[in-house]
Amino acid sequence: AGSGAAAAPQELSVQYSPSRWARRLRGDAVVQAHLEATAAGTQRARAGAQTALHVPYGDGDGERLDIYLPADPSGAFPVLVYIHGGYWQCLSKDESGFAAPPLVSRGVALVAVGYDTAPKGHMDAMVLQVRRSVAFLAKRYPGTRGMYLCGHSAGAQLAAMVLATDWTEYGVTPDIRGAVLVSGVYDLEPILHTYVNDALGMTREVAQRNSPMLCVPPAAAGCEVLVAVAEHDSPEFHRQSREYGQALRTAGWSVSLLDLASVDHFDIIEKLSEESYVLTQVGADLLSSL
C-alpha cells in the first residue's frame, strides 16, 4: 500500500471513509447504527453505575468529563480514560460511557473525556485538552492503581498523543500503565488530502506536529500498548496501525498488535459493552496484570 499520502486524493477519501468498508450495513446506515448503539449503551451504563457527570477539567464549555465509578469507590481503583472518535468533528462524551458496565463490575472506573470538536475545536487545541484532562484526573485521583488510555479512531490519535506528552509543564506525571488504541490514525498527512480536513483546516505543520507516528517518545517502563484494528477496516487503517505499532516497538515500547476478525470500524469498539468480547477480555487482562 505504501504511504497513504502518495495515493490520489480520490482514492484516499475512499480509504479514509470507514463506513464504505463495513459489511453488515452500508454507508450512513452503519454510522447511524453506531450512534444508536453507543447512546443506548451509555444510557444503560448511567442507570447502573455511580456517576459524576459533566465534571469540569477546564473553563471551556466542552471541557467536561463523565466519570463512572466502581461499586466501592472508597479504595484504590484503576482508571480507564476513554477518548471518543468521530473524525475530530462529531460524537461526544455523552455517548461514550457504553464500555462502563464490564469495567465497573471489575472495580475499574471509566472516564469519558469531552473535548471541543471541529469546527469549534482545532487539532492543537484538542490534543491540549485531552492532555489536560488526564493531568486533571491524576490530581483528582492521586491514589489510583494506574491510569489506562483507550481511544477509538480519532480518539486513538489523541490517546497516542497523550503518550507523547512532556508532563513537566502540567505539574503532575500521570501513572499511565497501558493504552488500548483502536482503529486509529497515527499519521495525519493523508488526512490533509481528504474531505475530513474540510472541517479541520489543518496545515501540513499542524498535521505533522500532531501525528503520533512523528513524535514517538522513549518507551515508558511498565506501560503496555495494544494497537487494535478491525478486519473490515480499510487497507490504510491497517497500514497505519501496523506502522505505528512497529515505530513504538522500535523505540522500546511493549506493544501488541491485534487484528480483530468479523468486526468493522464501528462495532470493534461498540462491543466493549459486552463481557464476552475479545477486546473486553484483553483489556481486562491488561488491567488485572499490572
Average pLDDT over residues 5-23: 88
Domain extents in the chain: 21-287
| 191 has a pLDDT exceeding 50 | yes
- Catalytic residue status for 233: yes
Give the model confidence (pLDDT) of 227-276 as tens digits.
999 999 999 999 999 999 999 999 999 999 999 999 999 999 998 888 77
Direct distance between the N- and C-terminal alpha carbons of the chain, in angstroms, rounded to an integer? 37
- Catalytic residue status for 116: no
Cell digits of residue 147: 491510569
Element (H, E) at 238: helix 235-250
With cut-offs at 50, 70 and 90, classify the pLDDT of residue 2.
very low
What's this model's pTM, rounded to 2 decimal places? 0.95
Which stretches within 105-220 are classed as H helix?
Answer: 123-140, 154-163, 197-200, 204-209
* Secondary structure of residue 16 in the 3-state scheme: coil
d(C-alpha 101, C-alpha 91), whole Å: 20
Give the model confidence (pLDDT) of 145-159 as tens digits.
899 999 999 999 999
d(C-alpha 60, C-alpha 266), whole Å: 29
Of 133, 153, 241, 273, the catalytic one is 153
d(C-alpha 182, C-alpha 152), whole Å: 5
Of 94, 234, 265, 267, the catalytic one is 265
Give the model confidence (pLDDT) of 17-62 as tens digits.
999 999 999 889 999 999 999 999 999 999 999 999 999 999 999 9
The phi, psi pair for 232, rounded to 5°, reads -100, 30
Of 94, 175, 187, 233, the catalytic one is 233
Element (H, E) at 182: strand 176-182
Block residue for cell numbers 473553563: 59
Average pLDDT over residues 4-28: 87
* Percentage of the chain lying above the pLDDT 70 cut: 97
Average pLDDT over residues 60-88: 93
* Secondary structure of residue 210 in the 3-state scheme: coil
Give the CATH superfamily of 21-287: Alpha/Beta hydrolase fold, catalytic domain (3.40.50.1820)
Give the pLDDT of residue 4.
55
